[in-house]
Amino acid sequence: MRLKRKNTGYLPGHVISLVRGGADYFAMLATVIDNAQHYIHLQVYIFDEDETGQQVAGWLISAAKRGVKVYVLVDGYASQQLSSSFITKLRDAGVYFKFFEPLLRSSNFYFGRRLHHKILVADGIHGLVAGLNISNRYNDIDGTSAWLDWALYIHGQAAFALEHVCMKRLRRRSVKITPLTAWPEPVAMPDAFINCPLRIRENDFLGRKRQVYNSYLEMFKTAQREIIIMSPYFLPGYAFRKRMRLATRRGVKIKLILAGTSDIPISKLAERFVYRWLFKHHIHIYEYQPNVLHGKVAVCDNAWVTLGSYNVNNLSAYASIECNADVSEVKFATHMAHTLS
């Protein structure tokens, strides 16, 4: 079932699937890489040189050796710990590897934008938009559960839009491939949703892109019944708080699912300082306890969803390059809401 809107930038006809972080996500990552025939783009904030990072590097190297063009872009600050031998191994296998560099950086600080989105694209056909980095803590490994996170598998036109997002960050022209006469089948996946309208949303304040930010403001402005937001570092700015307040005054129920245990304790202390204002405006707060929460997703009226790398705070709004996917499909949105409940 589609939610009808005018001029909202949604592309029709996608097959999508919600992918939970951990082993499920990395299995899907491996499947998409293995199915690539022409090219792969992987762009991520953190790429660690641990067991998970070595495994993903092995998949990329195997793809490059069978003739697939592989492009990897990682953030120059968050991934600066990668060794020269690790990078050389990728490059020697034919992988195009590059750091996204801020204006200034050292081992303790950076100044400028950071590449915070998490995207995988294969052939402009298969895509993953996620909140997960490449690191053991996002994987189920050695009996330790991954941090709670989400990804969206995308099969359809929006994957080609993701390819353009990636090429823009690489400052390279799009890879030219033979136009498709028919779309290949999507990869095997559980709980697939078909014929879903979807749009790719970028946030890059210095690049004059505020699409994810505006998706959230749209939720607060148009919601009629309920908004559910999961965010690990929830420090909303003035415009967010104003729209949230106006929504609750219209009778919209807002539920926040926030981290109980945070990987950044000082951020959690700052977040709890906002709780008094949230309670004052009748906003419901739930803290996730089983593990570290890292997922970034929101559902509006069981009708549409935004999911990706965007945190509800000023760092994502003004300093980071982010990417989300918006899905305007009632069955998927209801599934997402039930998953978060």
pTM of the model: 0.91
**pLDDT at residue number 70:** 97
Task: Give residue 183's pLDDT band: very low, low, confident or very high (50, 70, 90).
Answer: low
Q: Is 255 known to be catalytic?
A: no
| Position with higher pLDDT, 312 vs 172 | 312
Work out the average pLDDT over 36-55. 97
Distant-in-sequence, close-in-space partners of 302: CB < 8 Å, separation ≥ 6: 225, 226, 330, 333, 334, 337
* pLDDT tens per residue, range 94-151: 999 999 986 555 555 555 689 999 999 999 999 999 999 999 999 999 889 999 999 9
Residue 49 has pLDDT above 80, yes or no: yes
Work out the average pLDDT over 14-19. 96
Residue 179 has pLDDT above 50, yes or no: no
Q: Is the CB of residue 325 less than 8 Å from the CB of residue 221?
A: no
Distant-in-sequence, close-in-space partners of 68: CB < 8 Å, separation ≥ 6: 36, 37, 38, 39, 40
Q: Is the CB of residue 245 less than 8 Å from the CB of residue 323?
A: no
Dihedral, CA of residue 122, residue 126, residue 130 and residue 132, to nearest 10: -50
Strand-pair partners of 300: 227, 304
Annotated active-site residue in 14, 116, 117, 126: 116
Q: Please state, rounded to an integer, the average pLDDT across all residues of the chain.
A: 90
**pLDDT at residue number 182:** 55
**pLDDT at residue number 184:** 65
CA distances from 180 to 124, 157, 165, 183, 185 (A): 10, 11, 20, 6, 12
Task: Give residue 6's pLDDT band: very low, low, confident or very high (50, 70, 90).
Answer: very low
**pLDDT at residue number 7:** 47
Q: Is 296 known to be catalytic?
A: yes
**pLDDT at residue number 161:** 92
Q: Is the CB of residue 77 less than 8 Å from the CB of residue 114?
A: yes
Residue 177 has pLDDT above 90, yes or no: no
Annotated active-site residue in 126, 155, 268, 294: 294
Q: Is 253 known to be catalytic?
A: no
Measured distance CA(82)–CA(103) in Å, rounded: 19
CA distances from 234 to 241, 256, 298, 323, 329 (A): 11, 9, 12, 17, 26
Measured distance CA(221)–CA(91) in Å, rounded: 48
Annotated active-site residue in 14, 41, 117, 296: 296
Task: Give residue 268's pLDDT band: very low, low, confident or very high (50, 70, 90).
Answer: confident
Annotated active-site residue in 41, 117, 118, 155: 118
Closest CA to 135 of 67, 51, 71: 51
Residue 14 has pLDDT above 60, yes or no: yes
Q: Is the CB of residue 120 less than 8 Å from the CB of residue 32?
A: yes
Residue 166 has pLDDT above 50, yes or no: yes
Annotated active-site residue in 48, 149, 301, 326: 301
The two tokens of residue 136 are 């053991």
Annotated active-site residue in 123, 149, 204, 326: 123
Parallel/antiparallel/unpaired status of strands 110-111 and 104-105: antiparallel
